[in-house]
Structure 1
Amino acid sequence: MDLKPSDNDAYAAYVETQQGNPQDSDAVVENPMLHIDSTESKRILRKVDLRVIPILAILYFLSFLDRGNIGNANVQGLSTSLNLKGNEYNWGLTIFFFPYSFTEPLCNILLVRLKPSIWLPSIMVAWGLVTTLTGLIQNYSGLLAVRFFLGLSEAGLFPGLAFYVSLWYPRSNAQFRLSLIFASASMAGAFSGLLAYLIVKMDGVAGLEGWRWIFILEGILTVVVAVLSYMFVWDEPQSATFLSEHEKAVLLELLNDTGTTVSANPQLGHSHSFEWRHVKAAILDWQTWFHCLGYWGAAVAVYALSLFLPTIIKGLGYSAANAQLLTIPVYFAATISCLLVGYFADLTGQRGIFTAGCYITIFVGYIIAVAPSRFIPGLTYASCFIAACGIYPAIPGLLALSSNNFAPTSKRAVGMAIQMGFGTMGGAAASNFYRTSDAPRYRLGHGLVLAFAGLGMIVMIAYHFICRAINAKRDKNAESTSQYTRAELVDMGDRAPTFRYKL
C-alpha cells in the first residue's frame, strides 16, 4: 500500500514501525502492549481528572449561567423595562440558537486545527463581554443583537468540551466525566436563581434596574475566569507536562480500546489530524442522523426547563423572588441524578439502558404536568423535579454514545458538532413552546416537550439495535481483518472491521 504523509497522523507511526523491515510494508503492525494494572490506570485517570475536569466544569458552568440568566432577568422585569410585546421575548430567546447551531461544526474544526488552550478561553472572553453588555440594552433590537452574538460566541464551547473529553479518556470512562461537566449546567441553574435573588437587591444602584446587574456582574465574572483559564487548559495528553513519559504511554494505551489506534508511544502521537474527507464522512454517516434526532429530543427538554423554570414556578402563585429560590431544589436534584447515572453507566458499560431510563423519567414528569384535568400547583412543581432528574443525565449519555462511536478523531469532532448543532435547534423550538397566553399551566409547552422526548427515545432504541447487529456481524467475520494494515484500520475509523460500537 502507498501511504502519504497527508493521509493521516498515523503515517508517522506507521513509518516508524516499518523501519528495519522495508520489505514487509503490507504486514499488520502489532502494538507493543504495555502491562497496565487497574491500580496504575486508575491513578493516572485520577491525575487527569484533577487537571482536566475542574476547569471544563467551570467553563461550562459559566456558559450555562450566561445563556440561561435571561429567564431570571425576565421575572425581575426585563420584558417590562424593554417594553416587549407579544412574542418578542420568545424571539429574543430563539435567535440565540441560530448562530449557535449553524457554527458548531465549524467551531470543532477550528478546535482540531488550533490549540484548545487558546480556543476555549478566547471564546469565553467573547461571550463574557457580550453578557456584560446585555445589561446595557434599551430595546427589543438590542435584545436581538446581544442574544445573536451570545449564541455566536458560545457555539464552540459545549461541542468542543465533549470532543475534548474524548482525547483524554477511554470510551468506557467517558460518560461519568461528561456527567461531571454537564452537572455544572444544573448547578448553574441552581446558582442562577440564588444569584439573581441576591443581585436584584442592587436595584437602583448607578441608576440601573436589578435585572441589568444580573447580566453585568455575571458577565464580568466570566471575563475574569476566562483570562485566568489560559493557564489551566491543556491541549492533549502528549503535551501534558503533568504526566511523565511513562504515564503518557499508559494513558494512550488506555485510549486504544477501539482496535484501530496505531501506537501508544507518546513520541509518535495519537491520530488527531484534520482532513476534509472526514467532514464528508461524518455528514454522510448513518449514525450521525440518529444522534441528531436523539439529541434533539433531550435538548428540547433541557432548554425548555432552563429558560422557563422561573416563569413556570412564578405562575404557581409565588413572587418573583421566591420563584428564583424555588428553582434551586429542582436543579440540585438534577445534579445528583446526573452524577449517579453517569457513574453507574460507566461502571456497567451500559449507555443505552440508562439513557432509555432517562427518557422514561422525562415522560413521567411531563405526563404528571399535562394529564390532570385541573391545575394543581404542587403537582406541577413535583413534575419539574421528576423531569429534571431525567433531562440532565440524558445529555451526557447521548454524548458519550456519539463520542464512543465516531472514529477517527476528526470525524468524531465533526460528527459530534453536527449532533449538537442540530440538536441545539431544539432550543430554538422550545423557546416558543411556552406562551404567555398559556400561563399558568403551560399545557401546550409541556405536551410538545413530551412529544419530542418520545421521538428521541424511539430513535435511540432503533440505534441500539442497529449497532448491536453490526457488532454481531463483525464478530462473525473477525478473521477477515488480517488483510488490513493497522494504519488502514486507523483510517477506516468506525467502519473498520475491528471497531465495535458501544451500546
Structure 2
Amino acid sequence: MASISKDTDEKSPVAYESVEETAKDEAPIAAMEELGQGGFDEKATKRLLRKIDWNLLPLITVLYLFLDRTNIGNARLANLEEDLNMTGLDYNISLAVFFPLYIASEIPSNLAMKRFRPSIWIPTIMIAWDITQWYRRNECGLRMALVFSSTTCAGAFGGLLARGIVEMDGVGNLAGWSWIFILEGLVTVVFAVIAYFFMHDYPSTARFLNEKEKNEVIRRLEHDRSILPDEFDLKYVKHALKDWKIWWHMVMTIGLYTPPYAFALFAPTIVRDLGYTDNSAQLMSAPPYVVACLLCVLSGYFADKHGQRGIYIFGFSTLSVIGYILLMTVQSVPVRYLACFLVAGGAFPNVPQSVAWNGNNIGGSVKRGVGIAMQIGFGNLGGVLSSFVYRNEDAPYFVRGHGTLLGLMVVSMCMCAFLSFWFRRENARRDRTYKKPEEYTIEEMTAHREEGDNAPFFRYVV
C-alpha cells in the first residue's frame, strides 16, 4: 500500500539531518527503504504491538464506553416523560440540546490536544485521542473499531443495567429513571479520574516501553508518515478548511452518523412498539448492539488487512438499507426485530471506518486533526436530526423516520462510491505523472513535505 501520513505529537529522536546525510552518501537511496531500516523483525513487532494494545486500548475503550450517553432512551421507558410532564416534541428537544456545544468544541478540542498532554486533556473532556500517535496507518482501523465498539457495548449494557436500576424506583425519593442517570454517570466520572493517573501520552514518555521499544515505535511512525509535517502551524488549519475532500466527508458523514444516533436514542422505543412491554424492551434492545459490536471489530480488521475503507462503508450501509426497508414494509414482529439487527450491524461499523478513511487521506498531523474535527463535528449534526426522526405520532411503524434514515444512507453510499472512484483515479494519475512513492529520496520528500496529501509521493487509501 502507498504511504499515508502518521504522526506523533513530539519530534522523533531520529533527526532529519542525519537521514539526509545518509541519502547524500548513498544516493539515490529510496526514502521509504531508508526510513525503514533498523526495525524489529516480524515476531518482535507483533510482541511490541500487543504490548501497546494491552497498555492503551482497555483504558481508552472504557473511557469511550459512555454508559451515560444514550441512557436517556432507557430512561424514557421508565416514565421519564410522565414524571416530567413532557408532551409533543419535548422529549425530542431534550435530545437535540446536547449537540450544539458538542459540535462547536470539535476543532478547538483537537487543536488543544496538540498543545496539552492527552492524559490531561482527554479525561477532562472524556473522548478518545488520536490513536495514530502510536500505530501505523494500516493498523489504526482495527484499533479505532475496537474503541468505538465500546459505544455499541454501552447500548447493550445500558439496556441490561437500566432494567435492573429501574427497580430502585423510590429509593431516596427518586424515580428509577433518575437512578439510571446517577449510577451510569458516576461510572464515567470515576474512570475519568482514574485516567489522569494511568493514561500514557506518547511513545517517548511511555513507562511500559524500554528505550529500544520507544525508538522502534517512533521509527515505525516516521517510516509510515513519510516525513510529512508534524509541527503546529496555523497554515495547516487553512489547508484543511480549503480541502474539498474533507468537506465531502463532512456531508457524507451526516448520512452515516444519523442512523446510529437515531438507533441509540430510540432503540428501546422502537423495540417496545414492536409489541413488547417496557421492561422487556429494555432487555430486547441489547442483542442488536452485541451484533453491531462484533461487526465493528470485524470491519476494522478486514479493512486494515485489505488496505481499503470505501468498499466496507458501502457494504455495511447496504445492510442498514435492507433493515430499514424491512422495518417500513413488513408487519411480522420477528422479521422487524431481525431488521433491527441489520440496521445496527450496518450503521455502527461505518462510524470508525469513516473517521479512519478521512484521517488516512489527510497529510500532516495538524491538518488531520482539524480535518477529523470538521468531519465529526459536522457529522454530529446528524445527532440533532436524529432527535426528531422518530415522533410519537408515527408509532408503531415509524415509516417517516425509517424512510428519512434510509434516504440519508443511500445518499452517503453514493457519495462514498464517488469518493472511492476519485481516489483510485487520482492515484492512477499520480502514478503516471510522478515517480512511485518508494523511489523518492529523503531530500525529494522533504522538499514537498508541507504539501501534505498534495505531495507527489502521497497516495490515497481507496
TM-score of the superposition, structure 1-length normalised? 0.83
Give runs of aligned pairs for residues 255-274 of structure 1, distance below 5 A. Answer: 255-256=221-222, 258=224, 260-261=226-227, 272-274=230-232
CA contact (8 A) 1:358 1:391 kept: yes
Please name the residue that 1:267 is paired with: none
- The Cα shift of 1:13 comes to 3.3
Q: How does 1:382-393 map to 2 (within 5 A)?
A: 382-393=338-349
1:114 is aligned to 2:116: yes
| Residues 425-478 of structure 1 deviation map (CA, whole Å, 9 limit, x = unaligned) | 111101101001001111111110111111111111111111111111222233
Q: What is the distance in 2 between the residues matched to 1:285 and 1:336?
A: 34
Bigger mean CA deviation after superposition, 285-294 or 12-21: 12-21
- CA distance in structure 1 between the aligned counterparts of 2:353 and 2:22, rounded to whole angstroms: 45
- Of the three residues 229, 241, 261, the one matched with 2:207 is 241
* CA apart distance, 1:273: 2.8
Give, as a single letter, the amino acid of the residue that structure 1 aligns with 2:285.
T
Residue 265 (structure 2) aligned to one of 307, 316, 326: 307
Gaps of 5+ in 2: 1-9
What corresponds to 2:58 in structure 1? 54
CA distance in 1, matches of 2:137, 2:23: 33
Q: 1:167 to 1:223 in 2, by over 3 A?
A: same
Q: Confirm whether residue 488 of structure 1 aligns to residue 444 of structure 2.
A: no
Letter in 1 for 2:86: L
In 1, Cα distance between the equivalents of 2:191 and 2:359? 27
Partner residue of 1:419? 375
Correspondence list, 1:138-149, <5 A: none
Which stretch shifts more, 282-291 or 431-440?
282-291
Deviation at 1:72? 0.5
Q: Which amino acid aligns with 1:189?
A: G
Which residue of structure 2 aligns with residue 463 of structure 1? Answer: 419
Given the alignment, which residue of 376, 387, 392 partners 1:431? 387
Structure 2: distance between partners of 1:337 and 1:108: 28
**2-side partners of 1:272 and 1:328: how far apart?**
42
User: C-alpha deviations, 1:405-429, integer Å up to 9, x for none?
Assistant: 1120111111001000001111110
What is residue 127 of structure 1 aligned with on the other side? none
Does 1:323 pair with 2:275?
A: no
With over 3 angstroms needed to count, the CA separation of the structure-2 counterparts of 1:370 and 1:20, relative to structure 1, is: closer
- SS at 1:479 equivalent: coil
Contact kept in structure 1, 2:36 and 2:223, CA below 8 Å:
no
Shift in CA distance, 20/28, structure 1 to aligned 2, threshold 3 Å:
closer
Matches within 5 A, 1:401-412: 401-412=357-368
Cα distance change on mapping 1:86 and 1:246 into 2, 3 Å: same
1:232 Cα deviation after fit: 1.9
Question: Contact (CA 8 Å) 2:103, 2:381: kept in 1 or not?
Answer: yes
Distance in 2 separating the partners of 1:501 and 1:105: 23
Alignment of 1:83-94 (within 5 A): 83-94=85-96
CA distance in 1 between counterparts of 2:360 and 2:258 reads 23
AA aligned to 1:376 is S
* Alignment-derived partner of residue 479 in structure 1: 435
Letter in 2 for 1:84: M
What one-letter code is carried by the residue in structure 2 that aligns with 1:211?
W
Q: Distance in 2 between matches of 1:21 and 1:418?
A: 38
SS state at 1:231 partner: helix
Task: Tell me, yes or no, if structure 1 residue 288 matches structure 2 residue 288.
Answer: no
> Hey, what's the Cα distance between the residues in 2 that align with 1:484 and 1:476?
21
**Distance in 2 of aligned mates of 1:220 and 1:327:** 23
The amino acid that maps onto 2:339 is S
State the shift of 1:397 in Å.
1.3
Contact (CA 8 Å) 1:330, 1:385: kept in 2 or not? Answer: yes
How do 1:330-349 and structure 2 match up within 5 A? 330-349=288-307
Aligned residue pairs: how many? 446
Q: Which residue of 2 aligns with 1:82?
A: 84
Task: Tell which deviates more after alignment, 433-442 or 315-324.
Answer: 315-324
Sequence identity, in percent?
39
Q: What is the CA-CA distance between 1:34 and the residue it aligns to?
A: 2.0
The residue aligned with 2:38 is 34
Distance (Å, rounded) in 1 between the aligned partners of 2:185 and 2:225 = 45
- 1:198 corresponds to 2:202: no
Report the 3-state secondary structure (helix = DSSP H, G, I; strand = E; otherwise coil) of the residue aligned with 1:489: helix
- CA drift of 1:259 comes to 5.8
How much is the aligned-residue C-alpha RMSD, in angstroms? 2.5
**Does 1:44 find its partner at 2:48?**
yes
* Contact 1:258 1:499 (C-alpha < 8 Å) held by counterparts: no
Alpha-carbon separation, structure 2, partners of 1:37 and 1:18 = 24
Equivalence map 1:89-108=2 (5 Å): 89-108=91-110
Structure 1 residue 483 displacement after superposition: 10
> Which amino acid counterpart does residue 60 of structure 1 have in structure 2?
Y
- Which whole-Å deviations, capped at 9, do the CAs of 1:308-344 have from their partners, x for residues lacking one? 0001111112111110000111111111111122112
3-state SS of paired residue (2:232): coil
CA shift for structure 1 position 294: 2.4
Query: What does residue 217 of structure 2 align with?
Result: 251
Aligned-partner Cα distance in 2 for 1:468–1:367: 31
Displacement after TM superposition at 1:14 (Å): 3.5
Q: Which has the higher contact order (CA 8 A, sep 6+)?
A: 2
Q: Is the 8 A contact 1:28 1:486 kept in 2?
A: no
Q: Which residue number corresponds to residue 228 of structure 1?
A: 194
Residues in 2 aligned to 1:359 and 1:249: alpha-carbon distance in whole angstroms: 40
Q: What is the aligned partner in structure 1 of residue 7 from structure 2?
A: none
Q: Which residue of 1 aligns with 2:74?
A: 72
AA paired with 1:498? F
Contact 2:89 2:391 in 1 (8 A): yes
Equivalent residue number for residue 3 of structure 1: none
Structure-2 separation of matches of 1:483 and 1:392? 40
Give the residue type in structure 2 aligned to 1:377.
Answer: V
Match of 1:138 in 2: none
Q: Is residue 356 from structure 1 mapped to residue 337 from structure 2 by the alignment?
A: no
Q: Residue by residue, what CA displacement relative to the aligned partner does 1:84-110 show, whole Å, maximum 9, x if unpaired?
A: 121011011011111111211111111
Q: Report the residue type matching 1:48 in the other structure.
A: I
Structure 1 pair 425/46, CA: closer, same or farther in 2 (3 Å)? Answer: same
SS in 2 for 1:318: coil
> Aligned partner of 2:45: which letter?
S
